Amino acid sequence: MLSEKMMKLGKKRSVIRELFEYGNRRKAEIGAENVFDFSLGNPSVNPPVCVKETIKRLLETEDDIALHGYTSAQGDAKVREAVADYINRSFGRHLTGGHIYMTVGAAASLTISLKAMAVEGDEFITFSPFFPEYRVFVENAGGALKVVPCNTEDFQIDRELFEQAITPGTKRLF
């Protein structure tokens, strides 16, 4: 037996995904160089040269098994320490690598974070327009998503609607 709730959430295509597919069709029709697709947050510019150089260097010098294998679930310890050091230098914090949990992409990070924070019935608030998968992530974690529409004249947060949305059951805002 499958979860009816998750089946329903998974079958509902979001506008942002439809825009992505439309962009792919237009690329085939008029050429990729003529389509600027900002629907899913894919890069629209080339990465810095140092990124390409680092990837090449790693491919040429590192052990293939280590390079292409899994790291610890929370991420490589040295990388987490380097991230913590960067945050400490940049923002005057006092973090260690133990405070850092690395994920691949926002979806994984949001899913893990929401599952860690939410208990059945918690409310989460987001502002419209928002990434449609937020609803899937929140509901999968047992929460309910409240959407506060923006002011359509200037697309700023409608403070009055936001304040009305906050209840004793409100857990987080994102």
Please check whether residue 133 is in contact with residue 15, taking contact to mean a CB–CB distance below 8 angstroms.
no
Q: What is the pLDDT of residues 105-163, one digit of tens each?
A: 888 888 888 888 888 889 999 998 888 888 889 988 999 999 999 888 888 999 999 99
* Cα angle for residues 83, 89, 92 (degrees, 5° grid): 110
Q: What is the pLDDT of residues 34-79, one digit of tens each?
A: 988 877 777 778 889 999 999 999 999 999 998 888 888 899 999 9
Domain presence at residue 4: no
Matching residue, tokens 């260690």? 96
Query: Do 122 and 158 share a domain, yes or no?
Result: yes
83 lies in which domain range? 72-102
Query: Do 108 and 98 share a domain, yes or no?
Result: no
Q: Amino acid identity, residue 90?
A: S
Q: What does 78-109 look like in DSSP terms, one character per residue?
A: HHHHHHHHHHHHHH-----GGG----SSHHHH
Query: Do 173 and 112 share a domain, yes or no?
Result: yes
Domain presence at residue 3: no
Q: Residue 91 is encoded by which pair of tokens?
A: 């923002």
